[in-house]
Structure 1
Amino acid sequence: MLSLVAAIGCINEGVAPSGDSTTASIPLDEIAPPRSANAAKPAPGDVLIAGGAGASLRTLAKTEFFDQAAQKFVVTGSAISNRAGGAAIAIASSKVLLAGGFSGGASINHFTLSLEGNVVSAAEIFDEATGSSSAVSEMTVPRMGFTATLLASGKVLIAGGLDNNGSVLASAELYDPATGKFTPTSNTMSDHRVFHGATLLPGGKVLITGGATNLFGDTTNSADVYDPAANTFTPTGTAMDHQRAAHTSTILKAGPLAGKVMIAGGGGGSSFFLKDSSAEIYDPASGQFGLLTSFLNEARSMHTATVLDDGSVLLAGGFNGSVAIAGGALSGASGVISNSAEIFDPNSMEFNCVVGFNTDTLRCNQSMTSARAGQTATLFTTGKLRKQVLIAGGIGGNQPQAKGTPLSSAEIFNPASSSFTATSPMTTSRALHTASELR
């Protein structure tokens, strides 16, 4: 059994939750429909929502999509495997790779998500043309909390994560759509990593940053660059200024920092995860990291960072707090889940709250319809909602003080009005799920 500290995204050994989560009745909204040829079929520009941990203490196989035309969620063909903390990535026109994750029971208490079951190596392809999934070969090792990055070649780099023995991994592998198989990379990363960052660089290489390195609350400031041509990892010229896990890593596309990577927020430390409101920049040309002089308006971990059409970056939600760990288990958490958002301006290089800063709470004013962490955020690149962002699910509630409730709610951020608007909810509550815009 594993216990996930939802506040910072670190895996820790814990105590099994009371009750038998495997025998509890399944709510109707979590039952995956039978696999059939009559599944609802999404269209390009819709967003596929898969997996996650539901409100009934178990991981989900039920799959749905957000229909842009109708602006609602629609159930489609169920996945072959139920999973939470896995990865989903669009690999070709109409197809999405679903891989790894955790399968079993889930119980959320305060800021801790306890899991009973197995980390899996299973992988499958969802085809929007049929609304169904088909199995591919398994990953070389089971993983959850890993990163998946689509390379220019069409292959997918799978890096790090936690295996079924409770070990944080330094290994990586490649998925080749042409063969449907996974193969190990030529070498491993320089550090063990789970809940780290991965960003495709302009030249085709991949930057891997930070992460938790073990089950005892240790994080790292190390970073690697993966070279697809050599199929190898090389440590960066310098380490990050801060240790970070559950941070965001975003390629900037406008302003004086265009082509560089912004690493923001997260939590770091040794046996105590300190909240972090700093951000730093990685320069691919020099291989160096440097702290930004501006800070986020509030600390965030397990938040989302989305590059908007104008090149600015929306940072939304997340956990604002610190977590203590003793003996490999959560021993205390203090903080709130955020119901706010801020935007990084690539020209001024400043972070600005969406609806202003609150001098009493020392946080951004509420702008989101729900407080949420561990949610998904998907930029619409086509369709009637083009340039807007779909934010769905996560752990939270209506107020920042909410503790550990998987959410079915969703909302849309419109950059034109700089506002969030609630949309129809998902058909089931989800945390640690995936979201992918379909092509």
Structure 2
Amino acid sequence: MIDTETLNDDTWQYIDNKEKKRCGCLNCRWIIVICCIFLILSIAATILTILLVKPNESILTTIVPTSTNASTATSSNGTLIGMTTATMYTSTSEISSETSMTTFTSMVTTEMPVAALIITLVVIFVILPKEPSPKSVWSQLQNMTNARCQHTASVLSNSIVLVVGGQNNGTLLRSSEVYNFSTGSWSLSSSLTDGRYDHTVTKLSNGSLLMIGGRGELNALKSVEMYDPTSGTWRPMKEMNIPRYGHTASVLEDGKILVAGGRNNADGVLDSCEIFNPKDGTWQPTRTKMNNERYSHAAIETKGGVIVVGGYGSDHLKTVEIYDPAKQTWSFVGNMIHSRIKPVLVSLNGGLVLAIGGSNDQPLASIELYDPKSSTWTMKENMYYPRDRHTVSLLEDDIVLVTGGHRSEDSALNSVELYNVSSNRWTLIENMTYARYGHTASVLADGSVLIVGGCASEKNALNNVELYNRS
């Protein structure tokens, strides 16, 4: 039994949305309308006919004899041997009129509903076009070599995707794999120096990938490695000043990388930030620290700098800060309405930012929109399902794709939703084949989205791969 006192607004929205789901296909609506029209017309015709047509009960007595001719025959001895009688009848005008009316009444009252039903069935099964079976938006691709969760995936040139790191039932992975769409297959690439998860990978302007920090075997890592897509190899870079995991890494307008927050065993939750310069491979701390210590937060680049939202400090956070690269300073902007750990951010036109899902003791279905002009957040329509550790992909035409995630204790989702920014409406679409959280979603040049790995449960990492093709 559900304890209704413990349900928050997001859970109620989930229950309410589950009740609201109905079939909305156009053919079904037309069939219902046409059936109703034919049945109403047949019933109306029957009632009107009964009211207007009154059969004359004397119809059976209107046939009368007009003349009789008789003849007899006798035998030679005078005995009567037979008699033939001929009776002539005439029909009055009442016979034909009353008989016709009675026949019409019988036809309308008994045959018209049957005819209407037959016509309705013909319309449904013959005249109306058949709706073809919907084409699946999901297709299964070749599995990875290694099952993994909490990894990263990066799109290289020519829609080649590199997947690296992660964990499988607590085992940290050093391996990296490349998926090639031209061959439809995976191949192992070079391995990392250190296995890790909860790390970040950022694409530099020259196409190289920079892997930063993450969780190691015993503690947070401060090691950094760079991937060369030409040679397909990783090489170590200068380490960060502070080890960290659960941090964010954002590309600034000048090509430098801002790393913010995170956590490690020695210092706990961090407010420190540092900047990587790809030109000389050095790290420098920012002039000021964030106003809040935080990890498992989210960050996104904007025209004015980098916005950091939510996460966990001493508690679940709803605070929002913006980094000014010119001044190297942090300042608060308007708080979110809900506190969120691991929300996913989407940058929209006009500098608007969407914060989708995340958790606050339990997964959230709510989303919020940030307007930089007013520094305020506005609630938008909730998702159908609360979720965290999900993925969010911005498609063309301001359509947002949300896949999978974590709904409750060790319960993964396979549900998929599309959000239309313009209409502020969510639509449930075909589920993924596998429920998963902690997976990755990579938007490719043709608009398709590659879903890789993740966890079905805490001790069940996945190696399967699915491709979303927008119809």
Cα displacement (A) at 1:185: 0.8
Q: Does 1:276 align with 2:364?
A: yes
Report what 2:469 is aligned to.
414
Distance 1:290 1:192 in 2: 25
Distance 1:351 1:72 in 2: 34
Q: Does 1:391 align with 2:451?
A: yes
Report what 1:350 is aligned to.
425
Secondary structure (helix, strand or coil) at the match of 2:398 reads coil
Report what 1:267 is aligned to.
359
Report what 2:339 is aligned to.
243
Report what 1:219 is aligned to.
316
Q: Where do 4+ consecutive residues of structure 1 move more than 3 Å?
A: none
Distance 1:140 1:403 in 2: 32
More helix by share: 2
Distance 1:308 1:43 in 2: 19
Report what 1:139 is aligned to.
240
Distance 1:72 1:208 in 2: 37
Identity score, percent: 30
Does the 8 Å CA contact 1:121/1:138 hold for their aligned counterparts? yes
Q: Does 1:50 align with 2:164?
A: yes
Cα displacement (A) at 1:72: 2.1
Cα displacement (A) at 1:280: 0.6
Cα displacement (A) at 1:164: 3.1
Distance 1:283 1:347 in 2: 15
Report what 1:184 is aligned to.
285
Report what 1:99 is aligned to.
212
Report what 2:197 is aligned to.
84
Secondary structure (helix, strand or coil) at the match of 1:121 reads coil
Report what 1:111 is aligned to.
none
Report what 1:362 is aligned to.
none
Distance 2:241 2:285 in 1: 7
Q: Give the 3 Å change call, closer, same or farther, for CA 338–93 of structure 1 in structure 2.
A: same
Report what 2:377 is aligned to.
289
Corresponding residue to 1:174 among 275, 280, 287? 275
Q: Give the 3 Å change call, closer, same or farther, for CA 54–274 of structure 1 in structure 2.
A: closer
Q: Unpaired segments of 5 or more residues in structure 1?
A: 1-28, 32-41, 105-116, 322-332, 356-366, 397-401, 418-439
Secondary structure (helix, strand or coil) at the match of 1:118 reads coil
Corresponding residue to 2:298 among 180, 186, 197? 197
**1:209 partner letter:** V
Report what 2:83 is aligned to.
none
Does the 8 Å CA contact 1:142/1:164 hold for their aligned counterparts? no
Structure exhibiting the larger radius of gyration computed from Cα positions: 2
Distance 1:62 1:409 in 2: 16
Distance 2:459 2:373 in 1: 42
Does the 8 Å CA contact 1:125/1:136 hold for their aligned counterparts? yes
Secondary structure (helix, strand or coil) at the match of 1:310 reads helix
**1:262 partner letter:** L
Cα displacement (A) at 1:193: 1.1
Distance 1:61 1:370 in 2: 25
Superposed CA RMSD:
1.7
Report what 2:150 is aligned to.
none
**1:71 partner letter:** G
Distance 1:164 1:177 in 2: 28
Secondary structure (helix, strand or coil) at the match of 1:234 reads strand
Distance 2:304 2:322 in 1: 10
Does the 8 Å CA contact 1:44/1:94 hold for their aligned counterparts? no
Distance 1:30 1:265 in 2: 29
Cα displacement (A) at 1:71: 2.1
CA deviation string 1:273-311 (max 9, x = no partner) = 03311111111122111211x111110101111101232
Distance 2:194 2:395 in 1: 33
Report what 1:373 is aligned to.
437
Secondary structure (helix, strand or coil) at the match of 2:171 reads coil
Report what 1:427 is aligned to.
none
Does the 8 Å CA contact 1:120/1:164 hold for their aligned counterparts? no
Report what 1:341 is aligned to.
416
Report what 1:300 is aligned to.
387
Report what 1:233 is aligned to.
330
Report what 2:185 is aligned to.
72
Does the 8 Å CA contact 1:88/1:96 hold for their aligned counterparts? yes
Distance 1:289 1:47 in 2: 34
**1:90 partner letter:** K
Q: Give the 3 Å change call, closer, same or farther, for CA 72–99 of structure 1 in structure 2.
A: same
More strand by share: 1
Does the 8 Å CA contact 1:152/1:204 hold for their aligned counterparts? no
